[in-house]
Homo-oligomer: A and B are copies of this chain.
Amino acid sequence: MEVWPLARVLSRILSLKKSACGGALVTTSPSRFLSSGTTVLQGNVSRSYFSTGPPVTESTDLVYSSHGDPSQVVQLETRKLPELKAKRTYAILPDPPAVGGNEGVGQVLEVGSQVQTVKVGDWVIPRDAGLGTWRTAAVFSEDDLVTVPSDISILSAATLGVNPCTAFRMLSDFESLMPGDTVIQNAANSGVGQAVIQIAAAKGVHTINVVRDRPDLQQLTDRLRAMGATYVIKEEMLRKPEIKDIFKAVHKKKTKRKATANNNLNNTVYLIQVYPKPKLALNGVGGKSATELLRHLQTGGTMVTYGGMAKQPVTVPVSALIFKDVKVRGFWVTQWKRDNKQNEEALHFMLKELCTLIRAGKLSTPSCTEVGMKDFHKALDNAMKPYISSKQILVM
């Protein structure tokens, strides 16, 4: 029996540079992945799009032979697949050459006799970073794979394991958020940022979304607002005094609401004042942007850093720590998955919740650009460009 990889996802800037080409795992063991020449389609897709064909013994892989600039070091190679083995071999971290890619979805084509957790036909995503998804077929240990439902779109499945999971955990694990609470984040247009907006909106949690100024700011604002963003503001706005009007204490909120009951005309003026200060700040940038998020956090709130696009550390005033009791934390979804390896339920509960949101139309597939595997250089180049909101997807 065989596995059909439906899409291989090319990670965006950070993961390309840091993870994808920095520590890929190649593992051999009971399950077998296999490629087909099919094209990935938008929306839900049925199995019938994929032909069965002859037994697959080779895979076309995007391989890097040294660490460095992906557009320099990544090459396309066709390599022989290993045999399925009854004896399990554990994942190791190989020296290059290694296959790039942390994300993607595949379909199980064949399983070894000892395999229990995946079966032929299952859609599967990598359990850990560094599995090496930029290839048409592979043989993996069942421990390296997680089954996902096949009634969501391929693109949703292919992009489910990292950004939406990061957003989900950051909204769940640091502060107890209730409907009406506020979250502030920078990098609001990133894959994580968009998932944060949508998951928070589904919980009734307001989001204040900070983006860098750019030529198409109005379109971006409209797009994020359509996803459920409460506010979309430029980074410079965070430093202006007007911003404080957004975060009035909750008791003011009540007074103002009463005051507007007979005065609908002024509603928008007053509406700008109804949000409690953020309990949670999500930082994908670092540097000054992170310090600005911190300034708006409520007493006892938490800032979680998951990225450092500005390549600057997080600077925390001593007074914020001592007198405002802000908590400064970090989050890395890969580490969460490793820490929860024995806690299958937590992982499956999260994936189930995310798929429920996807099916309900509350968590959309990120904007994607599909690129054929042979044009991988184009995808790598696109992924490195600034202000590109689209995720590069390798189809095979």
Residues of chain A whose beta carbon lies under 8 Å from any beta carbon of chain B? 286, 305-308, 312-332, 335
How many Å lie between the Cα of A282 and that of B328 in the bound state?
15
A315 CB contacts on chain B under 8 angstroms = 313-316
Can you list 28 contacts pairing A with B, beta carbon distance less than 8 Å?
A: A286-B318, A305-B318, A305-B321, A306-B322, A307-B322, A313-B315, A313-B316, A313-B317, A314-B315, A314-B317, A314-B318, A316-B328, A318-B330, A321-B328, A321-B329, A321-B330, A322-B330, A322-B331, A322-B332, A323-B330, A323-B332, A323-B335, A325-B330, A325-B332, A325-B335, A327-B327, A327-B328, A327-B329
Q: Which of A307, A326, A329 has the most CB of B within 10 A?
A: A329
A329 CB contacts on chain B under 8 angstroms = 321, 325, 327-328
Q: How far apart are A191's CB and chain B's nearest CB, in angstroms?
A: 16
A330 CB contacts on chain B under 8 angstroms = 318, 320-326
- Main SS at interface, chain A: mixed
A324 CB contacts on chain B under 8 angstroms = 330
Known A325-B332, A329-B327, A329-B328: A307·B318 in contact at CB below 8 Å: yes
Q: Are A321 and B314 in contact (CB under 8 A)?
A: yes
Q: Which of A286, A314, A327, A332 has the most CB of B within 10 A?
A: A314
A319 CB contacts on chain B under 8 angstroms = 308
A317 CB contacts on chain B under 8 angstroms = 313-314
A306's nearest neighbour on chain B, judged by CB, is B322
Q: Are A316 and B314 in contact (CB under 8 A)?
A: yes
How many Å lie between the Cα of A332 and that of B325 in the bound state?
8
A326's nearest neighbour on chain B, judged by CB, is B330
A318 CB contacts on chain B under 8 angstroms = 286, 305, 307-308, 312-314, 330
A323 CB contacts on chain B under 8 angstroms = 330, 332, 335
